[in-house]
Amino acid sequence: MEKYVLSVLVENKTGVLSRVSGLFSRRGYNIDSLTVCATNNPEQSRMTIVVKGDEHILDQIQKQLAKLEEVIAIKKCESSSSVQREMSLIKVRAEASNRGTIIETADIYKARIVDVSLESVIIEITGSEEKVESLLRLLEPYGILEYVRTGLTSLDRGSGVM
């Protein structure tokens, strides 16, 4: 199964997210990640939807999305022609003895320490899914207390707009 990233421009109205997610559940398709935010036009929102499947499933998803009246445009985002990022907050157990090593590890990944307590630090990282996964693996031995990820977001390179 291949991973596909769809950028879906929709009307910024109540219930649109519910209709889009309902479309996926009715068809038995799983959403791997979903990011939604208003655009520079307050009447529109952009959804970045990550799904796994084959070309047939992708084609079906795009056709079903196009049937929703609130959907303005749908674009498949290719990793080679778009910028794709994810953000994560990671709370790590950090005692005085290992705090410096944890901070150095975060620095290597160009991550930021956004909170410090006596027992833990919270690290913010932005980058590719692989970069986030790699940092998580390195921090695991210290004790990851919890983390949250935004899901993938994507914009096409260049001056073109959707």
Q: What is the CATH number of the domain that holds 129?
A: 3.30.70.1150
User: Residue 129 in contact with residue 76, Cβ under 8 Å?
Assistant: no
pLDDT at 150 over 90: yes
The rounded distance, in Å, linking the Cα atoms of 94 and 99 is: 5
* Predicted local distance difference test score (pLDDT) of residue 1: 86
Written as one letter, the residue type at 58 is L
What is the span of the domain harbouring residue 6? 2-77
Residue 159 located in a structural domain: no
* Predicted local distance difference test score (pLDDT) of residue 161: 84
pTM of the model: 0.86
Query: Among residues 32, 54, 77, which one ends one of the domains?
Result: 77
Q: Are residues 55 and 91 in the same domain?
A: no
Q: Are residues 118 and 146 in the same domain?
A: yes
State the burial class of residue 111 (Cβ atoms within 10 Å of its Cβ: 0-12, 13-18, 19+).
buried
